[in-house]
A and B are shown apart, each in its own frame.
Chain A
Amino acid sequence: MADMHSETMLRMTDIHKSYGRIEVLKGINLEVRQGEVLAIIGPSGSGKSTLLRCINRLETIQSGEIEICGQKLVHMEDGHSVYAADDEARRILASTGMVFQQFNLFPHMTVLENLIEAPIHVKHESRAEILPYARELLERVGLADRADYYPAQLSGGQQQRVAIARALCMRPQIMLFDEPTSALDPELTGEVLKTMRELAESHMTMVVVTHEMGFAREAANQVIFMAEGGIIEQGEPHEFFSHPREERTKAFLQSRL
């Protein structure tokens, strides 16, 4: 359980986002503290992935504030969101890592090259510095023997574990997961969820958009249920899953059983 007094790693305040006239995020507020795992669930089209992608600037917001590790990525000025300058934003977002539904590994690089690419070319670490850490991470995700394979030679579950290791190789403080098991065959989701559980146990701060209710129930400290661009219900997982208050939450959870 995350300590109530621990540091706030992510704060989103009154987030609004529209595509043209369609409002996809209608005033979202959330806060994630150090070591906490936040699971965001909800039907497709509820805006949960969009919300996650707003955290690291893959999507931009029109109104609201985003603070990451105490630094303002977006602040309000005259009723509009103003983003930090590009260099500054990149520096702030260096504390975040992301794992995608489609893995998005670099297909022309081996597993090991995928891991060390950004540390070498973005953080200018030397190969000698980063290689031991990259190998240690591959060990942690159970793929030490696949270091010299190309992504196309791996199963989906293996690719996703490489993607987790690649993100971790940049030593982020917050990990964002966008439906990390949705593109996987059912028999392969287990190995990815296991890796994510281990990461949660190592006190990594995580925001996870997921359809895996089991993971949300067992690994998360906080669950948010979204629908139609808003947060419908939010709570601690035991309470949330055993005694949902809102009708829509109940209906959604029913449909997932």
Chain B
Amino acid sequence: MDNLMNTVIQMAEGSEITLEIFFVTLIVALPLGMLAAIGRLSPIAPLSRLLEFYVWLMRGTPLMLQLLFVYFALPMVGIMLPDIAAALLAFILNYAAYFCEIFRAGIQSVPRGQYEAAKTLGMSYPLTMRRIILPQVIRMVLPPISNETINLVKDTSLIYILAMNDLLRVARTIVQREFDMTPFVVAAVFYLAMTFVLTWMFKKLEAHYGRYAQ
């Protein structure tokens, strides 16, 4: 029993870095993804093309490779980042690309008539985006965003390869030291608990933003 308590305490410490990666990535990548989507849809062709390339690059290569690149390749060209910052950079760039595509699809699904109605009421483009378009986009993107967010919980385990003591790495260390599989089960419970909380939160959000749809 003491042993299990001990394991749980060690793993709770390991989940600290997991949660840090999760929250910082989410908080930075979401607005970044939204801005990228607005840029992607802007009539400024070079900006739109550049963002298209960025999305292709980030979605077309494994996140694992991106992590290794930031962690090992950047120092070779003289860019030294602290461990956690390197991991965060890769996560944010990767997730912002996915969020960009989700927001782009969301913005494009708002009917033209909404822009036209806003225009005939004298609303400027920024005002139209802020008051009319984005609130409708949020409702439409919640399910795919929820999906990506749950993926992010599990993707944080990739920093395992960067020798940072996240939840999964702590679990493996204990398993190897004590020849006991319990830590893996405890790790699964930790991930499931986080996913449970997120699922509940998104359900609430969807109900809140969906209140106007019959």
A binding-site residues for B, Cβ under 8 Å = 56-58, 90, 93-94, 96-98, 100, 102, 104-110, 117-118, 121-123, 150-153, 163, 166-167, 170
Contacts and interface: CB of A to CB of B under 8 A. Distances in A.
Interface string B108-128: 000101101101111110010
Given A100-B116, A102-B113, A118 B212 contact: no
B204 interface: no
B75 interface: no
B136 A108 contact: yes
9 contacts: A56-B119, A100-B113, A104-B113, A106-B117, A108-B135, A108-B212, A109-B212, A118-B123, A123-B122
B120 A98 contact: yes
A153 B122 contact: no
Contacts of B114: 104, 106
A94 B116 CA distance: 14
Question: Across chains A and B, which 4 residue pairs bring their CB atoms closest together, nearest first?
Answer: A118-B121, A104-B117, A104-B113, A98-B120
Contact of A97 (B120, B124, B131, B136): B120
B172 interface: no
Given A90-B122, A108-B139, A122-B127, 7 more contacts: A56-B120, A57-B119, A94-B122, A102-B113, A105-B117, A150-B212, A152-B214
Interface in B179-214: 209, 211-214
A170 B121 CA distance: 7
B38 interface: no
A94 B119 CA distance: 10
Interface hub of B120, B122, B127, B209 (most chain A Cβ within 10 A): B120
Nearest to B119: A58
A100 B119 CA distance: 12
Contacts of A118: 121-123
A105 B117 CA distance: 8
Interface of B: 111, 113-114, 116-117, 119-124, 127, 131-132, 135-136, 139, 209, 211-214
Given A102-B113, A121-B127, A152 B119 contact: no
A198 to B, nearest CB: 21
Contacts of A110: 212
Contacts of B214: 150, 152-153
Contacts, number: 68
A107 B213 contact: yes
Contacts of A151: 212
Nearest to A58: B116
Nearest to B211: A150
A100 B115 CA distance: 12
A104 B111 CA distance: 9
B129 to A, nearest CB: 12
Nearest to B110: A107
Interface hub of A108, A163, A170 (most chain B Cβ within 10 A): A108
B122 A170 contact: yes
Given A102-B113, A106-B114, A106-B117, A121 B123 contact: yes
A106 B119 CA distance: 13
Contacts of B117: 98, 100, 104-106, 163
B136 A117 contact: no
Contacts of B121: 97, 117-118, 122, 166-167, 170
Given A94-B122, A106-B114, A108-B139, A152 B213 contact: yes
A7 to B, nearest CB: 22
Contacts of A153: 214
Contacts of B116: 58, 100, 104
B123 A167 contact: no
B120 to A, nearest CB: 4
A108 B131 CA distance: 10
A243 B187 CA distance: 86
Nearest to B112: A104
A107 B123 contact: no
A130 B141 CA distance: 33
